[in-house]
């Protein structure tokens, strides 16, 4: 009851704060408009002749008094009145984000998991939320070591000294359901034991799961009453069993092994890996894995010579392999679960800097508790959806959605899954400079979402989006979570590659491979292989032509735009 009360009060404070800020915003607009009218009339009054003086002065006493009272009420109601309008909203967002963070840190568990999801919505939420909630990825409230020690000895049924030669009492990371301690195993032959990471589940997390779930679901219902379309309780209910499975670390160990096997087939050179699991030391509440040193993927700049483009390509390719080939998908790849380091087998080469090789980076995927597995039919449907979506085959997209999910609004589906502006229909290919300028503007919007425009669209269409998501299988909602998280990381890396085109090429490749393997005759396989290369070439050429058209646009517009507009256009990225 206490947890429910605290959560409800925090949510109420945030809602009231937003309502007040909204009222103050409109009040300020009203006062500004009144001041403009007053100054305008006073100006007319100053230049009017004697005959107009009586008529123009009718407004003065009453309107100035009313406006002055309104101005005084607005100015004294909040100390933000002396600042810019944008600062008022920033402060409101910051206060609300800090309240959410405080509640999540106090309650832990599912509350932290929800906060982690919010940090990955940087295309919708104001920056104040994403920055304030970043600590929830790997730096939440830590359990005292004596509690952790009791849990470990209870799970192992022996003293820690008999297994570990040393163990750090201060955790190196703490997240929603567990915290991680670095330790070293004992070795019987006297040599130093292996360095390991011990993931220990927080006390009472499993016990509080049901109550926390019901509380968050209740808050979603309340939010739905206050704000149309914000009732996510049905979506939450669909994911309940998947979230509950994350509490079983034996399942996580199984997921890790399965992912490791698939990654070895996908990337034999080991540019993307997972830690080795010590199954003999793992239980439902404790997971012991190999300890791997590295930086969070969003801290890539701290590694000298590291290529953001190289890391982004490997990241996108790896999760595209899961999405379109194996159907076994990591649903929680936030930055706290992705490490980067220089590949152990990398040789730097010459010391003279022009001849020095760039370091080959290795990505380490952690925390394999939250996964979803697609059936063969779901995988086929997902491939067809993505190809029709990314290649803008609108008629085919509408047919697939209507036939399989009873969804008639294809544009909403496209915007939600692409997380970009999307309009049905073709676009101009005119070489007129002004038409090219409009095309470049459209291209820039498609490649790098205008935050304000997309936020407004989300708010206006939240109800439609929520109803659409409720009609999809739960696995598709976790696919959306995966895509959104990878998109957010890619954006943090500077959007160095064309994410959508790269995912589309991967989808074509895995679709064709699946189709070719099903063919029994040589002729059938040859035809399918030819069709595969044809489709791959089509997408590759289309992507290349898009980039060349953009460069041609910049060149031609140098003759018709002002220097300021031309400089702005050159800064537009080619990826999203």
The answer on pLDDT for 188 being more than 80 is no
75 or 517, higher pLDDT? 517
Query: Which pLDDT score, from 0 to 100, does residue 226 have?
Result: 72
Query: Which pLDDT score, from 0 to 100, does residue 533 have?
Result: 62
Of all residues in the chain, what percent carry a pLDDT higher than 90?
27
Average pLDDT over residues 148-170: 92
Query: Which pLDDT score, from 0 to 100, does residue 352 have?
Result: 46
CA distances from 136 to 98, 436, 503 (A): 12, 44, 29
N-terminal to C-terminal alpha carbon distance within the chain: 45
Average pLDDT of the chain is 74
Query: Which pLDDT score, from 0 to 100, does residue 190 have?
Result: 56
Query: Which pLDDT score, from 0 to 100, does residue 216 have?
Result: 81
pLDDT tens digits along 372-388:
999 989 999 999 899 88
Task: Kindly state the helix (H) or strand (E) to which residue 195 belongs, with its residue range.
Answer: strand 195-201
How many other C-beta atoms can be found within 10 angstroms of the C-beta atom of residue 13?
14
**Scanning the structure block, which residue is given the tokens 């003086």?**
53
Query: Which pLDDT score, from 0 to 100, does residue 267 have?
Result: 92
Q: d(Cα 220, Cα 574) in Å, to the nearest integer?
A: 38
Query: Which pLDDT score, from 0 to 100, does residue 104 have?
Result: 81
Pick from 34-43, 231-240, 272-281: least confident: 34-43
CB 370 within 8 A of CB 331: yes
567 or 344, higher pLDDT? 344
Q: What is the DSSP track for 144-185?
A: PHHHHHHHHHHHHTS-GGGTEEEE-SS-SEE-SSEEEEEEEE
- List the beta strands (DSSP E) in 411-516: none
pLDDT tens digits along 412-443:
888 888 776 666 654 433 444 444 445 445 54
Of all residues in the chain, what percent carry a pLDDT higher than 70?
63
The answer on pLDDT for 168 being more than 70 is yes
394 or 160, higher pLDDT? 160
Pick from 20-29, 61-70, 226-235: least confident: 61-70
Q: Which long-range contacts (CB under 8 A, 24 or more apart) does 381-387 make?
A: 382/323, 382/324, 382/476, 382/479, 383/324, 383/507, 383/510, 383/511, 385/417, 386/323, 386/324, 386/503, 386/504, 386/507, 387/504, 387/507, 387/508, 387/511
pLDDT tens digits along 441-478:
554 444 444 555 666 666 677 778 878 888 888 889 88
pLDDT tens digits along 107-124:
777 788 888 777 767 666
Task: Show the tokens assigned to 71.
Answer: 């101005």
How many other C-beta atoms can be found within 10 angstroms of the C-beta atom of residue 144?
10
Q: Using the CB atoms, write b or e for 249-263: b if 16+ within 10 Å.
A: beebbbbbebbbebb
What proportions of the chain, in percent to the nearest 5, are helix, strand and coil?
65, 10, 25
Task: Show the tokens assigned to 384.
Answer: 């067809």
217 or 300, higher pLDDT? 300
Q: Which span out of 124-133, 168-177, 390-399, 556-565 was modeled with the highest average pLDDT?
A: 168-177
Average pLDDT over residues 473-492: 89
Query: Which pLDDT score, from 0 to 100, does residue 206 have?
Result: 83
CA distances from 357 to 306, 344, 497 (A): 11, 14, 21
Query: Which pLDDT score, from 0 to 100, does residue 266 have?
Result: 93
Pick from 163-167, 424-428, 518-522: least confident: 424-428
Give CA 316 to chain center in angstroms.
Answer: 14
| pTM to 2 decimal places | 0.72
């Amino acid at each position: 009851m206490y947890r429910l009360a605290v959560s409800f009060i925090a949510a109420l404070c945030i809602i009231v704060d937003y309502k007040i800020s909204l009222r103050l915003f409109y009040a300020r607009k009203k006062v500004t408009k009144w001041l403009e009218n007053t100054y305008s009339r006073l100006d007319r009054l100053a230049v009017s002749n004697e005959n107009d003086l009586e008529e123009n002065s009718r407004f003065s006493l009453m309107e100035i008094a009313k406006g002055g009272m309104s101005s005084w009420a607005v100015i004294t109601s909040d100390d933000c009145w002396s600042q810019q309008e944008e600062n008022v909203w920033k402060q409101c967002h910051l206060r609300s984000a800090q309240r959410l963070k405080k509640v999540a840190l106090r309650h832990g568990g599912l509350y932290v998991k929800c906060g982690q999801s919010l940090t990955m919505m940087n295309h919708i939420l104001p920056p104040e939320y994403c920055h304030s909630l970043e600590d929830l990825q790997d730096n939440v409230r830590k359990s005292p070591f004596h509690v952790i020690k009791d849990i470990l000895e209870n799970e192992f049924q022996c003293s820690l000294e008999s297994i570990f030669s040393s163990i750090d009492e201060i955790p190196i990371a703490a997240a929603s359901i567990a915290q991680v301690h670095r330790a070293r195993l004992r070795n019987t032959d006297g040599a130093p034991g292996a360095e390991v990471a011990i993931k220990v589940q927080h006390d009472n997390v499993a016990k509080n799961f049901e109550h926390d779930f019901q509380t968050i679901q209740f808050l979603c219902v309340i939010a739905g009453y206050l704000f149309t379309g914000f009732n996510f309780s049905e979506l939450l209910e669909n994911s309940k069993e998947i979230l509950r499975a994350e509490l079983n670390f034996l399942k996580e160990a199984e997921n890790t092994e399965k992912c490791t096997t698939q990654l070895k087939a996908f990337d034999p050179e080991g540019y993307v890996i997972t830690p080795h699991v010590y199954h003999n030391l793992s239980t439902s509440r404790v997971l012991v894995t190999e300890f791997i040193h590295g930086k969070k993927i969003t801290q890539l700049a701290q590694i000298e010579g590291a290529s953001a483009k190289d890391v982004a390509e490997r990241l996108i390719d790896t999760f595209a392999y899961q999405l379109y080939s194996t159907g076994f998908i990591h649903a929680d790849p936030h930055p706290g679960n992705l490490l980067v380091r220089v590949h152990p087998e990398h040789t730097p080469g010459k010391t003279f800097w022009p001849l020095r090789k760039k370091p080959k980076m290795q990505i380490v995927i952690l925390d394999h508790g939250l996964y979803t597995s697609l059936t063969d039919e779901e995988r086929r449907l997902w491939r067809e959806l993505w190809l029709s979506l990314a290649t803008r085959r609108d008629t085919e997209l509408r047919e697939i959605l209507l036939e399989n999910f009873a969804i008639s609004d294809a544009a909403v589906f496209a915007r939600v899954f692409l997380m970009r502006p999307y309009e049905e229909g073709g676009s101009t290919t005119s070489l007129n400079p002004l038409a090219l300028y409009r095309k470049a503007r459209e291209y820039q919007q498609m490649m790098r979402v205008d935050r304000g425009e997309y936020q407004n669209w989300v708010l206006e269409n939240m109800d439609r989006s929520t109803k659409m998501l409720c009609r999809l299988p739960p696995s598709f909602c976790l696919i959306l979570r995966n895509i959104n998280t990878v998109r957010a990381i890619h954006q943090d890396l500077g959007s160095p590659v064309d994410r959508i085109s790269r995912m589309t090429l991967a989808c074509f490749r895995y679709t064709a491979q699946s189709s070719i393997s099903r063919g029994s005759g040589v002729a059938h396989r040859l035809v399918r292989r030819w069709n595969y290369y044809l489709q791959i070439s089509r997408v590759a050429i289309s992507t290349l032509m898009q980039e060349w058209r953009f460069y041609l646009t910049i060149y031609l517009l140098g003759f018709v735009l002002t220097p300021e507009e031309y400089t702005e256009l050159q800064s537009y990225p080619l990826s999203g």
